[in-house]
Amino acid sequence: MFQKRYESPLGIIKIKASETGLQEVLFMDEAKDNIIDWSVAENEICTATAIQLDEYFKGERIIFDLPLSPVGTEFQQSVWKELLLIPFGKTSTYSAIANSLNNPLSVRAVGTSNGKNPIAIIIPCHRVIGADGTLTGYAGGLWRKELLLKLEGNLHYNQPTLWDD
């Protein structure tokens, strides 16, 4: 495994990749950051991920072009594939994703899978909101979810923003 410590505008991100694909893009809190051995070498996938994240945060990239290899169950994989279909600047709902999987009763399982997405930002779980248009949970924190949606020009939900322009 290879990894890289990436300093984003939203905090430290751990990038982890195998020889063939990206496996993790995770926000780190201070406690986790202090216990990770950052001396592990990075590879070209880690480097490319950092470059593309830089471009995303600068508003220069709306589509990521990276080989993805997230580890998860078959159901989680199917949810994560659906997340990749949500365009930049748009949102979806847990129920819409469940319906797209032809399993409308799986809304809670979709939410759980969304929360276990190991490749934040690139597999855009932040683009999933509640059916009533409100922001709902985000493993990286709702404040990050809101800022990611703001960065993408999408604040079309029914919750007051935490930050003013």
Helix (H) or strand (E) holding 6: strand 2-8
Which two three-digit tokens encode residue 9? 């505008």
Residue among 2, 51, 52 nearest 22 (CA): 2
113 in Cβ contact with 72 (< 8 Å):
yes
Q: C-alpha angle with apex 86: 46 to 88, nearest 5 degrees?
A: 70
Q: Which residues of 9-22 are buried (b: 16+ CB within 10 A; e: fewer)?
A: ebebbbbbbeeeeb
How far is CA 124 from each of CA 1, 33, 87, 114, rounded to the nearest angstrom? 23, 23, 9, 9
Pairing of strands 92-93, 128-129: parallel
Catalytic residues: 125
